[in-house]
């Protein structure tokens, strides 16, 4: 079996096993997952496989990582509450609709984060940017760090409702989350580096506590993503 296929198989095994524990209630909401090294021992896999599994679980909205603290279970959510499930983001129209919602919410969230962020928020955001860059250079899709960046920014607003919304959106908020995680061509890697640069611009404005610049950088970032999907939709509908 090729190394990439074996890695996908091992990652899927870890994701399925932890997902089953969460669904069965053995890992309840708020529970802290074992340390990375302990998961490596438990499943007999590499650090890369564990990190990939965590990225998939984060993108699915099942867990969240709090940098410097650990990874915690979010559970499957309350079926009676607002949530956009992965199956509800199956077309380009769906993806564009979610991006429009995010533009409305996250643009203002970035401004609030610039006004209210703490030193601890900056540390968490920088760590996620580093994790994003590392994932791209290792040929991974960086979905987990991408989601985590937006979640940490929501926390920096000091308004828990922003983070609640990010968690309810889960992986559906990252347009590429449903694509093949192994499809990292040179062109795609360049695209992800561009996303990283857009994240950096947002963080720079938040560090300076420039609320207007933070709003503008976030709107540019999400609008770029929306326009890429609109162009793709136009091509599909021709």
pLDDT at 195 over 50: yes
Q: Is residue 78 part of a domain?
A: no
Kindly state the tokens that stand for 154.
């929501």
- SS3 letters for the chain? CCHHHHHHHHHHHHHHHHHHHHHCCCCCCCCECCCHHHHHHHHCCCHHHHHHHHHHHHHCCCEEEECCCEEEECCCCCCCCCCCCHHHCCCHHHHHHHHHHHHHHHHHHHHHHHHHCCHHHHHHHHHHHHHHHHHHHCCCCCHHHHHHHHHHHHHHCCCHHHHHHHHHHHHHHCHHHHCCCCCCCHHHHHHHHHHHHHHHHHHHHHHHCCHHHHHHHHHHHHHHHHHHHHHHHHHHHC
Same domain, 65 and 101: no
Question: Residue 115 sits in which domain range?
Answer: 86-237
| Mean pLDDT value across residues 146-162 | 92
Residue appearing with tokens 């920014």:
153
Torsion angle of the four alpha carbons 230, 154, 149, 111, in this order, in degrees rounded to the nearest 10: 70
| Mean pLDDT value across residues 91-119 | 92
Same domain, 19 and 96: no
pLDDT at 37 over 60: yes
More confident: 4 or 150: 150
Q: Residue 236 — pLDDT band, cuts 50, 70, 90? A: low
| Mean pLDDT value across residues 223-231 | 89
Q: Is residue 80 part of a domain?
A: no
Same domain, 103 and 37: no
Q: Residue 184 — pLDDT band, cuts 50, 70, 90? A: low
Q: What is the domain-level CATH number for residue 192?
A: 1.20.120.530
Same domain, 217 and 148: yes
Q: Residue 20 — pLDDT band, cuts 50, 70, 90? A: confident
Same domain, 137 and 195: yes
Rounded (5°) CA angle 19-100-126: 60
Q: Are 122 and 83 in contact (CB under 8 A)?
A: no
Measured between alpha carbons, how far is 219 from 49 in angstroms, rounded to an integer? 34
Same domain, 207 and 111: yes
Same domain, 61 and 106: no
Same domain, 157 and 218: yes
Kindly state the tokens that stand for 36.
């990375």
| Mean pLDDT value across residues 110-135 | 95
Q: Residue 83 — pLDDT band, cuts 50, 70, 90? A: low
Same domain, 176 and 206: yes
Q: What is the pTM of this model?
A: 0.66
User: Given this model, what pLDDT does residue 118 score?
Assistant: 96
Same domain, 33 and 66: yes
User: Given this model, what pLDDT does residue 56 score?
Assistant: 82
Q: Is residue 79 part of a domain?
A: no
Same domain, 136 and 42: no
Residue appearing with tokens 């994701």:
15
């Amino acid at each position: 079996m090729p190394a990439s296929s074996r890695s996908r198989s091992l990652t899927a095994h870890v994701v399925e096993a932890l997902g089953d524990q969460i669904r069965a209630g053995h890992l309840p909401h708020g529970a802290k997952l074992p340390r990375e090294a302990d998961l490596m021992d438990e499943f007999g896999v590499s650090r890369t496989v564990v990190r990939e599994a965590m990225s998939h679980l984060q993108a699915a909205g099942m867990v969240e990582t709090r940098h410097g603290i650990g990874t915690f279970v979010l559970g499957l959510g309350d079926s009676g509450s607002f949530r956009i499930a992965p199956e509800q983001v199956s077309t380009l129209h769906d993806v564009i609709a979610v991006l429009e919602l995010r533009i409305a919410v996250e643009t203002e969230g970035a401004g609030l984060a610039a006004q209210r962020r703490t030193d601890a928020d900056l540390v968490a955001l920088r760590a996620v940017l580093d994790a994003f860059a590392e994932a791209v250079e290792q040929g991974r899709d960086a979905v987990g760090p991408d989601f985590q960046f937006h979640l940490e920014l929501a926390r920096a607003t000091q308004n828990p409702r922003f983070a609640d919304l990010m968690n309810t959106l889960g992986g559906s908020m990252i347009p590429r989350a449903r694509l093949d995680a192994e499809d990292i061509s040179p062109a795609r890697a360049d695209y992800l580096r561009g996303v990283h640069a857009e994240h950096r611009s947002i963080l720079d404005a938040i560090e300076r506590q420039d609320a207007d610049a933070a709003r503008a950088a976030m709107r540019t970032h999400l609008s770029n993503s929306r326009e890429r999907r609109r162009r793709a939709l136009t091509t599909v509908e021709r």
